[in-house]
Structure 1
Amino acid sequence: MKTLTFLSTTLIITILQSTVLTAPTLPSSSLSSTKQNHKRQWHHPGSIRPITAHSTDSTDDDPYHDYIAILSDDETRPWGEIFDEMGFSTKGIKKMTHSLGVNLSGKPSYNMTSYDMNSIKTFGKNLRAFTINMRESDAEGMDGNPSLASLEKMKMREWAFVPGSVKVLPSSPTVRRRRGVAGLRLTKRQDDMTWIQQGNAPWNLQRLSSEHKIDAKGRQPTDLTYNYRFDEAAGKGVDVYVVDSGINVDHLELQGRARMMFSYFGKVNDDVGHGTHCAGTIAALHYGVAKNVNIWGIKVGDSTSGINGEAIVAGIDAAISRHNQRKNQTDFMGSVISMSIGTAPPQQSDFMILKKAVEAGMHVSVAAMNSATDACNFSPGAFSQQIPIINVGAADIDDTRAPFSNFGKCVDIYAPGVSIVSTFNNNATGIASLDGTSMACPAVTGIIADELVKNPKLRLDPAAMKKHILGKALKGVIKADNVISSSELMAYNGFPGDPA
């Protein structure tokens, strides 16, 4: 391989820019129903109260809970008609519309309507749903309503990073406001396809472009002295939807390619840092796998309210709507959802909205979560066996399964997830090191994005893309309990050999 020349970032970026789906088995704690042949109805019991967070009462033998109800696909009637049948009279009640997102012009891009303004909130265009606060006995009576496909208690989600692992680092000395950087060079592969090698990368990027385990040679995992090889396309034009805490869109590493398109909270800033870190691993100039993708922020959680199921469904629903508009446009290159959040046990609402996403042709990468146990007990990764989403576990610099990472048959692939340096929310050049399957998931997201450019036939085929990504992965390198697994896979972008 011959080095042609050293290039500035500005020049490089100029070059870069030239199945059958089955429903899961739900835990016994979930309430669900499918369309029935009978005409059973549920009538308003009069015990509905305004929705509030965490409204259970431990001293009440019939406590209130927040529930999320999802309509059957064949329930297409207007909301007012549905609620009238259920016993909720909407006559004379003024609808209240809430803006949940903003578009590039600052105007609302996604709306949610509250029908009685206190007790019921409706949302969703691709998967119609509503939330309601009611007693358990009333929910049991509501189960079986023919208009509903699912009814379950609302469950708070978690970010899939290890608490206490956040280490804010000095800004990389190579980041400059002119967006220039040294350490990148243009080279040619043996098949004459142009590729680029980066000489000041974090270790996780080197691992993704290496056939063999990294020889650290005394370096720390947080050192920015590793080498990364990537295709010149760098995911150009692919739309990646980061379902998270928001994104610091002003970060110089993201080069103006990141925008916020949805916020469950109205505000779009990343007040956690998690979403910015994940976005950086996908797309940042120094820290990203696919350095030329378009990043779209879907803010479903913040530092005070956390993440609930309603936010997940509404946020992904908004992404599906945009994807459906984009996929008929001439510059469409594919869509990827990156979701480094989850919970236990598996949630039917997660399954149903992600099923809608893959049916629409969106590719999905999710985090396996961090409880060092069977990943099949966690949402949404448990559904990797039923729908073609990719569930990602975490490994360290020695190719050892991270001690916190979930594992088992529901983990499709592993990627670097320990001491991962990426962008952060503290300023326009801020970086931090984090641990977690949260950090591994966006690495696979980036690989998917890059493969979408190189394999246009897979753009709307998530099942074939999943097979392709797993087929490229490395076997026999992941070690757990001092034994190398012959079945577990390490994410790999397919460059033969190791970076020089």
Structure 2
Amino acid sequence: MKTFTLLYTTLILTTLQSTVFTAPTSTKHKRWRHPGAKRPVAGHSTDDDPFHDYIAILSDDETRPWAEIFDEMGFSTKGSKKMTHSLGVNSNGKPSYNMTSYDMNGIKTFGKNLRAFTINMRESDAEGMDGNPSLVSLEKTQMRQWAFVPGSKKVLPSIPLAEQGFRDFGLRKRQDNLMWIQQGNAPWNLQRLSCEHKIDIKGRLPTDLKFNYRFDETAGNGVDVYVVDSGINVDHVEFQGRARMMFSYFGKVNDDVGHGTHCAGTIASLHYGVAKNVNIWGIKVGDSNGVNGEAIVAGIDAAITRHNQRKSQPGFMGSVISMSVGTAPPQQSDFMILQKAVQAGMHVSVAAMNSATDACSFSPGAFSQQIPIINVGAADIDDTRAPFSNFGKCVDVYAPGVSIVSTFNNDATGIASLDGTSMACPAVSGMIADELVRNPKLRLDPAAMKKHILGKALKGVIKSDNVITGAELMANNGFPGDPK
């Protein structure tokens, strides 16, 4: 019997329609065009003034109803499709709030914490909106990419339930009298996070489940982690009923890519996860066709709303956003929505992306220098920066990202090995969740949490071109020595 709750918005179930946007002639439209903006010339080739899909984000002080805003633009909401959507869930698993939006002639509104709309229009009309006091951002929509290496996927034989060794966890005592557990059938990436020195392979393959992982018994207990990705295979036995879907940009919630399930498994699954007790919430913003920028904004906006409701509820332990998607160049919409998230007290881990170049050229990792999000690069089992990983000052910390075994979408016990900063990011997401339980004072302080995570990281171990510069950090949970 399924134990998850499914809630998604019909607000943006369909992709943007390529509807022609004709600049209205109403005098009310003046506020939406600056006097020097160029206008299409009658009979001029449309190739010189093409149509694009845009995402427009309103300023915080623009609180008027959508109908009034569109009326000022010269549009009438009469006859438009007015919709009420349920987003987020409360402690009883029921819809936690409703939002009214409009879908008219290809213009769609969305967002509660960051109000935005998407529209298809000519470049000249977009230029005419430049400097409008009601807008803080107007940019062409940009497809995002999954931050895993194409061709690296290796679907591994599923382990029968009877042979999975659920009891291969040895309980020990730690010096501070907290109980800790050593897992003896872990993937290599988990061992690397909980030891001081490079792993002695001893004839093992990186995909062998023969490594040791040490973690606190609490292991992120009660923390909410929002996986902004392709969805999650919530029926996978490794999630033990802790994974639910709460948002989808599409009319489907299944993980048709496998990427989201793999990332969620590294965060929270029983055998492959860093924080084995967290609550996983799926935010589906992409499918086999890719990820839309407006889906990112809408999905994270829904997560912020649920987080704000949870903050006052009993048992709230903190919220983490894990985002293993990105693109180049940096996108203002990514910055705006993630800024809202950290201002609300959410902790954010993102992937540095995989172009073997300066991470400051990619979204959203480039913003790690402006807002307290953690941008994660990838390393291999030899503590060498992965050849595909982006690097530079915008990478805050490295984590294992090569030959990472985790849950997959093929069945309820499926596993796969993948490479990418996509695989490194969720490891840090899980570490944040674990630290939220250990350090409740950091629950709503992303800046202090980032400083804490980087302060525990290992220095002087990451190699690049066989040289240790000492500048890079390797994520570590702080256990002394190495597991036995």
The separation in 1 between residues aligned to 2:85 and 2:47, in whole angstroms, is 35
The aligned counterpart of 1:42 is: 32
Give the direction of change, closer, same or farther, for the CA distance of 1:371–1:141 in structure 2 (3 Å limit): same
The aligned counterpart of 2:128 is: 141
Q: Counterparts in 2 of 1:173-184, with a 5 A limit?
A: 173=160, 175-176=161-162, 181-184=166-169
Decide whether the 8 Å contact of 1:110 with 1:318 is kept in 2: no
Give the direction of change, closer, same or farther, for the CA distance of 1:78–1:363 in structure 2 (3 Å limit): same
Give the direction of change, closer, same or farther, for the CA distance of 1:241–1:257 in structure 2 (3 Å limit): same
Give the direction of change, closer, same or farther, for the CA distance of 1:220–1:109 in structure 2 (3 Å limit): farther
Counterpart AA for 1:324: N
Instruction: Flag structure 2 segments of 5+ consecutive residues without an equivalent.
Output: 1-28
Decide whether the 8 Å contact of 1:109 with 1:262 is kept in 2: no
| Pair 1:229-2:214 in alignment | yes
- 1:374 corresponds, among 358, 369, 374, to 358
Deviations 1:329-362 (A, max 9, x none): 1200000000000000000000000000000000
- 2:172 corresponds, among 187, 194, 199, to 187
The aligned counterpart of 1:125 is: 112
- 1:282 corresponds, among 250, 267, 274, to 267
Counterpart AA for 2:110: F
The aligned counterpart of 1:28 is: none
Counterpart AA for 1:411: V
The aligned counterpart of 1:342 is: 326
Give the direction of change, closer, same or farther, for the CA distance of 1:428–1:112 in structure 2 (3 Å limit): farther
Deviations 1:435-458 (A, max 9, x none): 000000000000000000000000
| Pair 1:163-2:153 in alignment | no
Decide whether the 8 Å contact of 2:460 with 2:469 is kept in 1: yes
The separation in 2 between residues aligned to 1:41 and 1:340, in whole angstroms, is 38
Question: For 1:41, what is the secondary structure of its paired residue?
Answer: helix
Decide whether the 8 Å contact of 1:338 with 1:365 is kept in 2: yes
Question: For 2:126, what is the secondary structure of its paired residue?
Answer: helix
The separation in 1 between residues aligned to 2:296 and 2:244, in whole angstroms, is 18
The aligned counterpart of 2:477 is: 493
Counterpart AA for 1:332: F
Decide whether the 8 Å contact of 1:101 with 1:264 is kept in 2: no
Give me the TM-score of the superposition, normalised by structure 2.
0.89
Give, in angstroms, the shift of residue 115 of structure 1.
Answer: 4.1
The separation in 1 between residues aligned to 2:441 and 2:422, in whole angstroms, is 29
The separation in 1 between residues aligned to 2:84 and 2:146, in whole angstroms, is 26
- 2:315 corresponds, among 311, 331, 335, to 331
The aligned counterpart of 2:75 is: 88
Deviations 1:65-119 (A, max 9, x none): 00000000110000111111122222x2233327586758686977572342x22
Give the direction of change, closer, same or farther, for the CA distance of 1:112–1:275 in structure 2 (3 Å limit): farther
The separation in 1 between residues aligned to 2:148 and 2:207, in whole angstroms, is 17
| Pair 1:400-2:384 in alignment | yes
The aligned counterpart of 1:152 is: 139
Counterpart AA for 2:68: E
Instruction: Flag structure 1 segments of 5+ consecutive residues without an equivalent.
Output: 1-38, 49-57
| Pair 1:273-2:258 in alignment | yes
The aligned counterpart of 2:403 is: 419
Question: For 1:332, what is the secondary structure of its paired residue?
Answer: coil
Counterpart AA for 1:417: G
Decide whether the 8 Å contact of 1:40 with 1:145 is kept in 2: no
Question: For 1:149, what is the secondary structure of its paired residue?
Answer: strand
The separation in 2 between residues aligned to 1:163 and 1:331, in whole angstroms, is 40
Give, in angstroms, the shift of residue 122 of structure 1.
Answer: 0.3
Decide whether the 8 Å contact of 1:109 with 1:261 is kept in 2: no
Give, in angstroms, the shift of residue 42 of structure 1.
Answer: 1.8
Counterpart AA for 1:208: L
Counterpart AA for 2:471: S
The separation in 2 between residues aligned to 1:357 and 1:315, in whole angstroms, is 11
Decide whether the 8 Å contact of 1:99 with 1:266 is kept in 2: no
Deviations 1:425-474 (A, max 9, x none): 00000000000000000000000000000000000000000000000000
Give, in angstroms, the shift of residue 40 of structure 1.
Answer: 6.2
Decide whether the 8 Å contact of 1:245 with 1:300 is kept in 2: yes
Q: CA RMSD in A?
A: 2.2
Decide whether the 8 Å contact of 2:88 with 2:302 is kept in 1: no
The separation in 2 between residues aligned to 1:134 and 1:59, in whole angstroms, is 12
- 1:114 corresponds, among 92, 102, 112, to 102
Give the direction of change, closer, same or farther, for the CA distance of 1:99–1:166 in structure 2 (3 Å limit): farther
The separation in 2 between residues aligned to 1:318 and 1:410, in whole angstroms, is 27
The aligned counterpart of 1:261 is: 246
Decide whether the 8 Å contact of 2:33 with 2:132 is kept in 1: no
Give me the TM-score of the superposition, normalised by structure 1.
0.86
The separation in 2 between residues aligned to 1:482 and 1:496, in whole angstroms, is 26
The aligned counterpart of 1:205 is: 190
Decide whether the 8 Å contact of 1:237 with 1:292 is kept in 2: yes
The aligned counterpart of 1:445 is: 429
The separation in 2 between residues aligned to 1:256 and 1:491, in whole angstroms, is 28
Moved over 6 A (4+): 106-110
The aligned counterpart of 1:217 is: 202
The aligned counterpart of 1:97 is: 83
The separation in 2 between residues aligned to 1:402 and 1:228, in whole angstroms, is 22
Question: For 1:452, what is the secondary structure of its paired residue?
Answer: helix
Give the direction of change, closer, same or farther, for the CA distance of 1:372–1:89 in structure 2 (3 Å limit): same
Counterpart AA for 2:169: L
Deviations 1:396-448 (A, max 9, x none): 00000000000000000000000000000000000000000000000000000
The aligned counterpart of 1:11 is: none
Question: For 2:338, what is the secondary structure of its paired residue?
Answer: helix
| Pair 1:246-2:231 in alignment | yes
Question: For 2:142, what is the secondary structure of its paired residue?
Answer: coil
Give, in angstroms, the shift of residue 221 of structure 1.
Answer: 0.1
The separation in 1 between residues aligned to 2:396 and 2:88, in whole angstroms, is 34
Q: Number of paired residues?
A: 447
The separation in 2 between residues aligned to 1:222 and 1:312, in whole angstroms, is 32
Question: For 2:47, what is the secondary structure of its paired residue?
Answer: coil
Question: For 2:423, what is the secondary structure of its paired residue?
Answer: helix
Counterpart AA for 2:132: N
Q: Counterparts in 2 of 1:444-483, with a 5 A limit?
A: 444-483=428-467
Identical positions, percent: 81
Give, in angstroms, the shift of residue 227 of structure 1.
Answer: 0.3
Question: For 1:186, what is the secondary structure of its paired residue?
Answer: strand
The separation in 1 between residues aligned to 2:257 and 2:84, in whole angstroms, is 24
Counterpart AA for 2:52: H
| Pair 1:319-2:303 in alignment | yes
Decide whether the 8 Å contact of 2:88 with 2:306 is kept in 1: no
| Pair 1:303-2:288 in alignment | yes
Question: For 2:31, what is the secondary structure of its paired residue?
Answer: coil
